[in-house]
Amino acid sequence: MTDLPTAVEAPGDARARQRADAHARASFVRTGSRTEPERLFETGGLRWRFPRSTSPCEAVIVNTAGGVAGGDAYRIEVALKEGAEVEATTTAAEKIYRTDAAPARIETRLSLAPRASLFWLPQETLLFDGAGLERRLAVEMAGDASLILVESLVFGRLARGESRIEAGFRDSWRIRRDGRLVFADETRLAHAGAALDRMAVGAGARALAAIVAAAPGVEARLRDLRAALETASEEVEAGASAFDGLIVARFLSASPARLRGAVIASILALGRRRPPRLWQ
């Protein structure tokens, strides 16, 4: 009997099989005075945990892989039914590791029905030297729903002196209210360290953050937000504006700890509540 030839596996095929393809999906429903998970789906290393199920319901996203590598694909979907109130966060900063090939990809979709309220408060995303990350965020919300969305980035493991960082980052945000596009934002840093060192871009900053608040009457909170930013550390440069039923704030700092303090103060000013306990 003649032996069949053994197939030779291309190196690219082996790498493809080793990459994570993770997906976490959750819907939430209002039951009396409580908000509870209605349906859950989790695979590929993403998990849901619920320390508190009251109102708002506290939802925690856990990445059991401990980080994200080049070529990994992560999808997160959250849907709030009418009147549901959810506060979502992550267990820790999400680490994006060095890649020698394709970037990591993270896609997030948020859906808010009428009178729903979502605090989307993941902890920082930390990009290692040599990391590549492409993110997409899409929000569909009713006109009377409320959203406070926070995203923070740290470039380099600064505690280890990793300040000269070479990393690539692309970010795309779209927010629609009642089907109408109300916010679109695109960010691209091809050589993050060199770009952020430029005075017109980051003036040496290594920590960035953005906050978007969308809710009926939210523009009235702009004064409170600016007052909070005025008392923030001098090591944080920040600005905020209000338009079309939105408040948008952006932050820059050389210190992730100082930036986090300014973000916490902003959440208090906008949402009248402290961030989740996992932020402490």
pLDDT reported for residue 199 = 85
- For residues 87 and 39, give the distance between their C-alpha atoms in angstroms, rounded to a whole number: 17
pTM given for the model:
0.90
The closest of 101, 127, 261, 259 to 195, measured between CA atoms, is 127
Task: Please list the pLDDT of the chain residue by residue as tens digits (280 residues).
Answer: 434 443 344 455 545 557 889 999 999 999 998 999 999 999 999 999 998 767 799 999 999 988 999 999 999 999 999 999 999 999 999 999 988 888 999 999 999 999 999 999 999 999 998 899 999 999 999 999 999 999 999 998 776 666 678 889 999 999 999 999 999 999 998 888 888 888 888 888 889 999 999 999 999 999 999 999 988 778 899 999 999 999 999 999 999 999 999 999 999 999 988 888 888 7
Instruction: Return the H-helix or E-strand segment holding 72.
Output: none
Count Cβ atoms within 10 A of the Cβ of residue 186 and give its class: 0-12 exposed, 13-18 middle, 19 or more buried.
exposed
Pull the structure tokens for residue 37.
Answer: 């998970």
pLDDT reported for residue 8 = 42
Domain boundaries, the chain: 22-279
pLDDT reported for residue 16 = 52
Pull the structure tokens for residue 19.
Answer: 């990459």
Residue 186 pairs in a beta bridge with: 172
Q: How many CB atoms lie within 10 A of CB 164?
A: 10
